[in-house]
Amino acid sequence: MSAAGTRTPSWALRPAAAGRAGRVLLAGFAAAAAADLCSLLAGWHLGHVLAKPLLMPLLVAYVITRGAPRLLVAALLFGWGGDLALLFDAEPAFLVGMGSFALGHVCYLALFGRGRTSPALGGAYALALVGTVALLWPDLPADLRIPVAGYSLLLTAMAYRSSALGRAAGAGGALFLLSDTLIATGVAEWPQLPRPDFWIMATYLAAQYLLAAGAITREQAYGREVIQD
């Protein structure tokens, strides 16, 4: 059996069926995302509560039809856990959500492997991390400072390493960092953009989709290279 065959998940569908199912599921994800973002713009909380839990399961189902690696599926499912936790407006739920997202970042880092990334980009991310944490630190609740700083380090590492999978994934990592920074500025009670939840979700959804797309593209390219070898 070829190496490409050993990397193909057992859940992968036949190409024709996978293509049809994938188009339906991606359309479902787009519809749920539109419903969620429109609800946030309209200030309709119930619409957000109904749409948000559908987002990551639909994206997970879509990437499975594309033969996604298990680490990508795990990362998205941990993101779903974070999404659900953050529906509750309480500090324990915030910490649970942050922990779930952190596990997702660990999965992403493992998925990225040891692919080459730019040292200059790493330096820029390091400066952004230090500057953001330093600015936020005095305004964060005392019991959240260490958890937020630790999470920020992991998130920044994920954002930097995401470029190992190409430009799409690299953009996804950057948007994930932006989305969570917007959350942190809200926790610190900094001035916010109008409808801050809209911007948080818009950047987050784009981030998860781009990370997934980059991972799938790299996985399929690897499979083609192995077959040719």
* Residue pLDDT, tens place only, 73-120: 999 999 999 999 999 988 999 999 999 999 999 999 999 998 889 999
Tokens of 131: 């500057």
Q: Which of 5-9, 54-58, 157-161 has the lowest mean pLDDT?
A: 5-9
pTM of the entire structure? 0.88
Distances (CA, A) of 66 to 9, 25, 56, 94, 131: 10, 11, 15, 32, 39
- Is 90 exceeded by the pLDDT of residue 142? yes
The mean pLDDT value for 206-229 works out to 74
* Residue whose pair of structure tokens reads 């700083």 in the numeric block: 149
113 versus 225: the higher-pLDDT residue is: 113
How does pLDDT run across 26-70, given as a tens digit for each residue? Answer: 999 999 999 999 999 999 999 999 999 999 999 999 999 999 999
CA 118: distance to chain centroid? 21
Residues 6+ apart with CB under 8 A from 136: 148, 184, 185, 188
Phi-psi region of 44 (alpha: psi -120 to 50; beta: other; left: phi over 0): beta
* Residue labelled with tokens 């193909």: 8
